[in-house]
Structure 1
Amino acid sequence: MAIDVDLLGFFAAVCTTCSFIPQVWLVWRQRSAAGVSNGMYTIFSFGVFLWLCYGLQISSWPVIIANAVTLILALCVLGMKWHFERVAPDDRSV
Structure 2
Amino acid sequence: MDVDSIGYLAAALTTLSFFPQAIKTLRSDDTRSISLSMYGLFTSGVAIWAVFGLLSGNGPVILANGFTLIPASFVLQKKIRHRLKGGER
Taking structure 2 as the reference length, the TM-score comes to 0.82
Q: Distance in 2 between matches of 1:72 and 1:29?
A: 15
Match of 1:58 in 2: 56
Q: C-alpha distance in 1, partners of 2:84/2:27?
A: 17
State the 1:83 CA deviation: 3.2
Measured after TM superposition, the shift of residue 16 of structure 1 is 1.0
When the two structures are aligned, how many residues end up with a matched partner? 89
When you count helix as a share of all residues, which structure comes out higher? 2
1:39 Cα shift?
0.6
Inter-partner Cα distance in structure 2 for 1:73 and 1:23: 10
What is the correspondence of 1:70-89 to structure 2 with a 5 Å cutoff?
Answer: 70-86=68-84, 89=87
Deviations along 1:47-75, one digit per CA (max 9) or x if unpaired, are 11111111111122221121111111211
Moved over 6 A (4+): none
Q: Which structure 1 residue ranges, 5 or more long, are not aligned?
A: none
- The CA RMSD over aligned residues, in Å, is 2.1
Query: Which of 59, 66, 69 does residue 67 from structure 2 map onto?
Result: 69
Flag structure 2 segments of 5+ consecutive residues without an equivalent.
none
